[in-house]
A and B are shown apart, each in its own frame.
Chain A
Amino acid sequence: MTDTGMTDTGITLTRRPDGDAARPAKAPPLRPHHRQLAVLGVLLLVAIPLPLVLPPAQGAVAVRILIFALMAVGWNVMSGFGGMFSFGHAAFFGLGAYTSAYLLVEHGVSPWIGMLAGMAVAAAVAVVIGYFAFRYKLQGAYFALATFAFAEMLRLIVTTSDFTNKAVGFTVPLIQGSSFWKIQFAADSPAYFWIALGLAGIAAAVSIVFLHSRTGRYVTAIRDDELAAASLGTPVLRYKLVTVALSAAITSVAGAFYTQYYLFVNPDLAFGSSVSIQAIATVVIGGIGTIWGPIVGAVILGALSDVTATLLRTPPDFLNFLQGRSGLDVAVYAVLLILIVRLLPKGIVGTIAARWRR
């Protein structure tokens, strides 16, 4: 996220030569940045003792919330900050999951390395997809459909390749005891939560820093008015590609951690369209383009899926026919999604923020 390219364009938007030191009277851009990071730090500190307090079943829900949050933060970088509505984030989630699973199962590589490799692969694929999509000026529905098509193509390729074990997918080999290096602990160990918390915290911090960085501001400018940004000399394509790559990399981490936590991944779990939809729904409910939206959305959806799961296991009398049926959780969040879009189009966080400012 450097701005190395700015010099060769010749034109710059703001008093660039004098740099940070001489940034006159315009302090505000820095402050929210630090305030948000501080809030994030407090949230993380509060969350650390959670697994010791919560019953084990709730601990699993908490980890799932964090995985949702990682995915959602990734999606939000591209579609919220960048305004490029992706319908295919399953591609990056799946690439992260499969890269790390493949390296671990076939070559015994640590999932941490696998995670980094997955980020690189996902970012590279995202840049290729993004390059073609921007090169051919796909917008709105067409862009969404193109990203969707790429995710589905990856799913079909993975489902039919021997290289990736076809429809079976990968099962993470169990080890004796627990190991941080291999990210494997006892099933109800709080370590999973702490690692997920750390990853989600880093992702959220990266998204905050990104939003306030030079690249992030260019990208939001491009989102708001691409023509104006381009006419001021912003290298639009480059900033868009950086955003897409960052978004894909964050989402791929969610995939890699998902595999480690559930010890298992297959094409539908990794590349299925429900993964993309999950990422979208989380952010839309929380608030597109806001920093806290993905996190709020993840908490709501995660808690909701737990409630519906309990409801299906032990339904009250009037819902007896639902016993053992699936689909309620998605149906509920679909209703929530429709209601939010109709009634609070800015999402929960966006609406609250708008009220606050007034």
Chain B
Amino acid sequence: MSNIGTKAQSPPAPAARRRPLLGGDGTGAVLKRAAVTGGLVAVAIAVALIKSGSGLVVWQSVVTGLLMGGLYGLIAMGLTLIFGVLDIVNFAHGALLAIAMFIAFGVVQGTGVHPYLTLLVAVPALFLLGAAVHRGLLSGTGGASLENQLLITLGLSLLLENGLLMFFGAEPKTVALPGDFQFSLFGAVVSGARLYAFLGAILIGAVLFWLLRRTRFGTAIRAVAANGQGAELVGVNVRRVHTLTFAIGTACAGAAAVLAAPLVTVTPTLGEQFNITAFVVVVLGGMGNVAGALVGGLLIGLVEQLTTIYMDGQSSLLGVFAVFVIVLFLRPQGLFGRRS
């Protein structure tokens, strides 16, 4: 419930072309919206305090929510990058995430290495898989229209999920983190795995940000996102940029999967849950806005935790969906995006 008021007061967005991939419209408007969002979060936390009556419970929720939110942000970054550059709503993102988790699980089982070392396998594997998926299924005329892309990625996610189900069965699996520890942060219990996942997500987010902003290739990506035809005219190989962007997006999912693997039970269908949350984050942060995805992730992590305080016995996803629907209706361009 963190952003209901934001849209009511946002100024009519300029009718410019959508998303420059990073950042939004004028700094002043962004700051104002950030302030309103922050205020709403503060109110939501205050209400949660009154509802639960225990500061510690709320503090624990906030800490857990933010730590989990970093991870959501990382998953959503890949999704939003793909959307921003290729205009593809990738329903297979969650299934690709699940694939990466099974790779991590398999490597840990097979060789006994530290789970985080599987990043070295999972990320390149997902990068190649993403490139193959884009080249094989999504590029070219067959994948042209929005519905077709949606259906292809949907079919792909069904295929991957059920393929995993066929080969690994439905039994849940766990990836244990050796030497996991817990510590107290002003009373809230934080497990090492969560903290590492959060820090890893922030780090990878920063790398992605640097890639997009400071490198030649990143400039090419942004050029293609802003105007594909124009980019092609000045000599950018648009098709290659598309493939590489899709691959980088799925590699983000691979990294997120490895970081998240010790925190969840690994099942073939777990990607679905993450996929839904990632979509919410992407819409909240503005489709195609990488920095927005991180902020959106943190907000959704908070929403999820606070929902369980507000509504006893309800699934934490209900609050997430409520926020989703409100954002879709009132501010479909996202908190920080421009109207297309």
Query: In the complex, what distance in Å separates the CA atom of A335 from the CA atom of B156?
Result: 8
Chain A: number of interface residues, binned into ranges:
35 or more
- The answer to whether A337 touches B165, judged by C-beta atoms less than 8 angstroms apart, is no
* B-side contacts of A153, CB under 8 Å: 318, 321-322, 325
Interface set, chain B 153-173, CB cutoff 8 A to A = 154-156, 158-159, 161-167, 169-170
- The answer to whether B325 touches A149, judged by C-beta atoms less than 8 angstroms apart, is yes
Known contacts A149-B325, A330-B162, A280 near B154 by CB under 8 Å: yes
- The answer to whether A342 touches B329, judged by C-beta atoms less than 8 angstroms apart, is no
User: Nearest CB to that of A274 among chain B residues?
Assistant: B158
* A-side contacts of B89, CB under 8 Å: 141, 144-145
Query: In the complex, what distance in Å separates the CA atom of A322 from the CA atom of B163?
Result: 11
Say yes or no: is B143 at the interface (Cβ < 8 Å to chain A). Answer: yes
- The answer to whether B165 touches A327, judged by C-beta atoms less than 8 angstroms apart, is yes
- The answer to whether A342 touches B143, judged by C-beta atoms less than 8 angstroms apart, is yes
Say yes or no: is A138 at the interface (Cβ < 8 Å to chain B). Answer: yes
Say yes or no: is B113 at the interface (Cβ < 8 Å to chain A). Answer: no
A331-B158, A331-B163, A342-B142 are known; give 9 further A-B pairs, CB within 8 A.
A85-B147, A140-B146, A144-B89, A145-B89, A150-B325, A280-B151, A288-B147, A330-B162, A338-B156
Known contacts A153-B318, A160-B313, A142 near B332 by CB under 8 Å: yes
Interface set, chain B 292-319, CB cutoff 8 A to A = 313-315, 317-318
Interface set, chain B 164-204, CB cutoff 8 A to A = 164-167, 169-170
Q: Tell me, rounded to whole Å, the shortest Cβ–Cβ distance linking A55 to chain B.
A: 28
How many residues belonging to B are interface residues under a CB distance threshold of 8 Å? 43
- The answer to whether B314 touches A149, judged by C-beta atoms less than 8 angstroms apart, is no
Say yes or no: is B152 at the interface (Cβ < 8 Å to chain A). Answer: yes
- From A157, A333, A345, name the one whose CB has the most chain B CB atoms within 10 angstroms: A345
Known contacts A150-B325, A152-B321, A334-B159, A325 near B165 by CB under 8 Å: yes
User: Nearest CB to that of A336 among chain B residues?
Assistant: B155
Residues on B close to A: CB < 8 A? Answer: 89, 137, 142-143, 145-148, 150-152, 154-156, 158-159, 161-167, 169-170, 268, 272, 276, 279, 283, 313-315, 317-318, 321-322, 324-325, 328-330, 332
- The answer to whether A341 touches B165, judged by C-beta atoms less than 8 angstroms apart, is no
User: Nearest CB to that of A145 among chain B residues?
Assistant: B279
- The answer to whether A338 touches B152, judged by C-beta atoms less than 8 angstroms apart, is yes
- The answer to whether B332 touches A152, judged by C-beta atoms less than 8 angstroms apart, is no
A-B contacts, 10 of them at CB < 8 A, read: A133-B329, A135-B329, A138-B332, A140-B146, A277-B158, A328-B166, A331-B162, A334-B158, A335-B159, A342-B143
Interface set, chain A 311-332, CB cutoff 8 A to B = 322, 325-328, 330-331
- The answer to whether B330 touches A136, judged by C-beta atoms less than 8 angstroms apart, is yes
- The answer to whether B152 touches A342, judged by C-beta atoms less than 8 angstroms apart, is yes
* B-side contacts of A327, CB under 8 Å: 161-166, 268
Query: In the complex, what distance in Å separates the CA atom of A156 from the CA atom of B315?
Result: 7
* B-side contacts of A136, CB under 8 Å: 328-330, 332
Say yes or no: is A284 at the interface (Cβ < 8 Å to chain B). Answer: yes
Say yes or no: is A260 at the interface (Cβ < 8 Å to chain B). Answer: no
Query: In the complex, what distance in Å separates the CA atom of A141 from the CA atom of B90?
Result: 10
Say yes or no: is A270 at the interface (Cβ < 8 Å to chain B). Answer: no
Q: Report the 4 A-B pairs with minimum CB-CB distance, sorted nearest first.
A: A327-B165, A327-B162, A334-B158, A337-B155
Known contacts A334-B158, A342-B143, A85 near B169 by CB under 8 Å: no
* A-side contacts of B146, CB under 8 Å: 140-141
* B-side contacts of A333, CB under 8 Å: 158
- The answer to whether A326 touches B170, judged by C-beta atoms less than 8 angstroms apart, is yes
User: Nearest CB to that of A325 among chain B residues?
Assistant: B166
User: Nearest CB to that of A326 among chain B residues?
Assistant: B165
* B-side contacts of A337, CB under 8 Å: 151, 154-155, 158
Say yes or no: is A282 at the interface (Cβ < 8 Å to chain B). Answer: no
Say yes or no: is A132 at the interface (Cβ < 8 Å to chain B). Answer: yes
- The answer to whether B315 touches A160, judged by C-beta atoms less than 8 angstroms apart, is yes
- The answer to whether B330 touches A341, judged by C-beta atoms less than 8 angstroms apart, is no
* A-side contacts of B324, CB under 8 Å: 145, 149
- The answer to whether B158 touches A330, judged by C-beta atoms less than 8 angstroms apart, is yes
* B-side contacts of A251, CB under 8 Å: none
* A-side contacts of B276, CB under 8 Å: 152
Query: In the complex, what distance in Å separates the CA atom of A327 from the CA atom of B157?
Result: 12
Q: Tell me, rounded to whole Å, the shortest Cβ–Cβ distance linking B84 to chain A.
A: 13
Find B315's partner among A159, A280, A326 (CB 8 Å cutoff).
A159
Q: Tell me, rounded to whole Å, the shortest Cβ–Cβ distance linking A154 to chain B.
A: 10
- The answer to whether B159 touches A149, judged by C-beta atoms less than 8 angstroms apart, is no
Known contacts A141-B150, A280-B151, A157 near B283 by CB under 8 Å: no
Say yes or no: is A273 at the interface (Cβ < 8 Å to chain B). Answer: yes
- From A328, A330, A342, name the one whose CB has the most chain B CB atoms within 10 angstroms: A342
- The answer to whether A145 touches B328, judged by C-beta atoms less than 8 angstroms apart, is yes
Q: Tell me, rounded to whole Å, the shortest Cβ–Cβ distance linking A338 to chain B.
A: 4
Query: In the complex, what distance in Å separates the CA atom of A345 from the CA atom of B152?
Result: 11
Say yes or no: is A175 at the interface (Cβ < 8 Å to chain B). Answer: no
Query: In the complex, what distance in Å separates the CA atom of A322 from the CA atom of B324?
Result: 39
Known contacts A159-B315, A160-B315, A342-B142, A146 near B163 by CB under 8 Å: no
Query: In the complex, what distance in Å separates the CA atom of A153 from the CA atom of B325?
Result: 10
Find B328's partner among A146, A325, A328, A343 (CB 8 Å cutoff).
A146
- From B89, B161, B163, B321, name the one whose CB has the most chain A CB atoms within 10 angstroms: B321
Query: In the complex, what distance in Å separates the CA atom of A330 from the CA atom of B160?
Result: 10
Query: In the complex, what distance in Å separates the CA atom of A12 from the CA atom of B158?
Result: 46
- From A273, A284, A325, A341, name the one whose CB has the most chain B CB atoms within 10 angstroms: A341
* B-side contacts of A331, CB under 8 Å: 158-159, 162-163, 166
* B-side contacts of A273, CB under 8 Å: 272
User: Nearest CB to that of A166 among chain B residues?
Assistant: B313
Query: In the complex, what distance in Å separates the CA atom of A341 from the CA atom of B141?
Result: 11
Query: In the complex, what distance in Å separates the CA atom of A156 from the CA atom of B308?
Result: 13
- The answer to whether B166 touches A322, judged by C-beta atoms less than 8 angstroms apart, is yes
Known contacts A156-B321, A160-B315, A330-B162, A149 near B154 by CB under 8 Å: no
Interface set, chain A 111-163, CB cutoff 8 A to B = 132-133, 135-136, 138, 140-142, 144-146, 149-150, 152-153, 156-157, 159-160
Query: In the complex, what distance in Å separates the CA atom of A98 from the CA atom of B142?
Result: 39
* B-side contacts of A159, CB under 8 Å: 315
- The answer to whether A138 touches B158, judged by C-beta atoms less than 8 angstroms apart, is no
* A-side contacts of B164, CB under 8 Å: 327
